[in-house]
Structure formats: C-alpha cells, structure tokens
Amino acid sequence: MQRVTRWVDPTYLRNRLVCISLSQSSFIGEEFQTDPSGLPPVFPRDQCERWDVDALRGAAAQHPHQRGLWIFPGALSPDACADITSAVERLTGGHRVQGEQGVPVRAAAEKPPPAAPPAEEAAWEWLPYGHARWMVPLQPAGGVCDAFARGPLSELHSHGCTDARSWPSLGSLGCGGGEALRALEGLPASAMADGFRGRPPLFLQLQRLQRGASIGAHVDQHQQGGRAIMTAVVSGGGSDVRVGGVSFR
C-alpha cells in the first residue's frame, strides 16, 4: 500500500472522481446510446479542432477560423507570476476561506443596493464556489462602474451577491503583484484590440482550483460581463481548454 500511495496523489484522485461523478449523466449517455439508427453519437469534444499554440509564445494570436478567440502564451514572466501569487496570498490573509475556521461569510448586498457606496475593503477571503474551487473579486484599477455594481454585479452568485463597490480595488494592490495585475488588465486592449478595443475592464475575478478539479462547460451571462473575457493562468500545471469548437492546452 505504501508503494501505491507513493506514486498516487490522493487530492488529485479525489477531486477528479468527484468532478467525473458530477458529470455522470453525460457519461451514461455515451455508454448507453438510445439512437435507434445504431450510429454512434457525435459529442462536441469529438468535433473540436486542436490548436497547436506552442509556436505562438511571446505574442498574441487570434485563431484563424474561430474569430474572437485569442491566446497569448507567455504573457506573464515567471517573476510576475510569483509576484501575483504573493500578492493574492496577502490579499486573502494567507488564503483564508469564508465559512471555514471561524472566518465569516461576507453578507450579500442590500436589495436594491443603496446609492451611497460602502467602504472599499483592503482584503477579501476566498469564497467556495463549486467543488474544490474558490473565488475572490476585485474592482478594476479605475474602480467599478456604480450602475453596473448596483445592477448586474449585485446578482453575481460566484461572489455571494456582495456589493462590488466594497470589493478591494486593483488600483490599491501594492508591490510587484499589483503592478503585474494592472499590466495584465491593460493587455487585452493593447495586444488583442480587435476583440477588446473600446471595452473598459468591468471587474476581475481571481480563481483558485485544487489539483484534479475542473470547470465544466458553461456560458457566462452577457449582462454580467460575459461578452469579452480574458483568462490568465498564473500558477499550477496545464490543462485542456475548450472554447467553442477549438481546444488547446
């Protein structure tokens, strides 16, 4: 048994099994087809075009066929990633989690949110959202739009429907990690202008995934910022990503 556990990561294995079980209905559908024609069903992932991004490192590139899908391998240096990781640890008080070890869960915004904005917080703990997944919100460096905060963002369940005007601001995040995140915030408009020109940053969403966990297929709500989204991987191993009909690693 000791020899087995030496080569097996229990955390990865547990999270992988849980994520598979949560999507079990789709697996059952694959194993027990009901199509009377007898033809094997075609699933979206089987139709994906594989995008080889290894040769694109160091510059932003748009997919040649799926317009609006951009990638920028190596956009952050290893030093910048380390600075961001340290800044997030400080922001969350050493990775404290709401609802755990005496850390209170932050209250949802009043309905409707008051006209007078609440005080901006200097720190924010992780909020569990799904299995082995946690979230922390940030206002953009220029501050969140008041109407957007009192409207769609007050219904954003991934951040507990909290008042976005109380979220920590990226503009107040110090040290090298804050500088790296502010540079990252401005990257889409400068490096991917066709997709992000004229779109001011609405908010930032820090995410933490435990190894073995996964994010299932979903469509973000347009009214909550889902029309143009940039995702940056700061630390951890690589994983397969599918956007529309394109997959890459």
> What pLDDT is stored for residue 28 in this prediction?
45
Judged by average pLDDT, the poorest of 12-21, 32-41, 93-102, 235-244 is 32-41
> What pLDDT is stored for residue 136 in this prediction?
98
> What pLDDT is stored for residue 44 in this prediction?
61
> What pLDDT is stored for residue 41 in this prediction?
63
pLDDT digits (tens, 9 = 90+) for 128-145: 998 889 999 999 999 999
The token pair that represents 78 in the structure block: 């290893």
Which band of pLDDT confidence, cut at 50, 70 and 90, is reported for residue 47?
A: confident
> What pLDDT is stored for residue 78 in this prediction?
93
> What pLDDT is stored for residue 17 in this prediction?
80
> What pLDDT is stored for residue 67 in this prediction?
87
Percent of the chain at pLDDT above 90?
A: 54
Sign of the Cα pseudo-torsion (104, 110, 113, 115, in order): negative
pLDDT digits (tens, 9 = 90+) for 167-181: 999 999 989 999 999
> What pLDDT is stored for residue 30 in this prediction?
46
pLDDT digits (tens, 9 = 90+) for 66-124: 888 999 998 999 999 999 999 999 999 999 999 999 999 999 999 999 999 999 999 99
> What pLDDT is stored for residue 228 in this prediction?
85
Residues 118, 165 contacting (CB under 8 angstroms) = yes
Q: Closest by alpha carbon to 175, among 242, 39, 89, 83?
A: 83
